[in-house]
Amino acid sequence: MNAPAHPMLVVDGLCRDYEGGGVQALRDVSFTAEAGRSVALTGPSGCGKSTLLSLIGLLDRPTRGRILLGGVDLAQVRNAHAFRARRVGFVFQFHHMVPTMTLQENVEAPMIALGLGRAERRERAADMLAQVDLAARAHFLPTQVSGGERQRAAVARALVNQPAVLLADEPTGNLDSRNGQRVIELLLTQARERAALVLVATHNPEIAAALDTHIELRDGAVVRHEGPPAA
């Protein structure tokens, strides 16, 4: 197989200053990552991990520098909502499931932005929930299942549109180690089998060690970068 023409993700000289407080949340961060790889972002609280994920997921815009995702310069993206729906999946520590909707309905919701019909949405969501071992819980509300089950449903929701990039912010933070490991395995399976790029912000050194690349931040700057060299 030929090497891809460009890496899935290029982060180039990225800075994010917050007005008012004079905080430089990110200072000149640069790295690249290939499709099918997993990247751990580590570092102490406040070092900029969440800020970096927000910028890559187009939830926020950088002060300086640029990000290319699948060859697209994010500064040129006009409809961030549509771009996110097609390209990016998010998993957060606190799942952010809609409490009044069943797990099945929560997993169906992202597909509305793709314009898929009801029957197809239903089928794909059921399929995805089965893949994370939740077929029997599909019609329960998020409050009626365990924390580990909720987080697996959140992973199913993040994966259902088959995003090229998965961004996970402390995805195992509130889970015991067995459930946490399961969530990480689900994310890594996606990276391997569907050539998605997975970025995980974590305080857990075991998780960081299980991923291909390890980028450590301190005060908004990269202080360590281990793993496959940039393309």
Ligand X SMILES: Nc1ncnc2c1ncn2[C@@H]1O[C@H](COP(=O)(O)OP(=O)(O)OP(=O)(O)O)[C@@H](O)[C@H]1O
Contacting positions for ligand X (CB under 6 A): 18, 21, 23, 25, 43, 45-51
Q: Which is nearer to ligand X, 134 or 166 (CB)?
A: 166
- Nearest distance, CB of residue 174 and ligand X, angstroms: 13
Question: 9-18 and 213-218: which strand pairing?
Answer: unpaired
Measured from the CB of residue 45, what is the shortest distance to ligand X in angstroms?
Answer: 3
User: Whose Cβ is closer to ligand X: residue 191's or residue 217's?
Assistant: 217
Which structure tokens are listed for 155? Answer: 């992973």
Report the alpha-carbon distance of residue 185 to residue 188 in Å, rounded.
Answer: 5
CB of 129 to ligand X, least distance (A): 29
Query: Smallest distance, Å, CB 36 to ligand X?
Result: 25
**Partners of 17 in beta bridges:** 24
Nearer to ligand X, 13 or 228 (CB): 13
Q: Where are the beta strands (DSSP E) in the chain?
A: 9-18, 23-33, 38-42, 64-69, 72-73, 88-92, 165-169, 197-201, 213-218, 221-226
Nearer to ligand X, 103 or 215 (CB): 215
Distance of CA 157 to the CA centre of its chain: 11
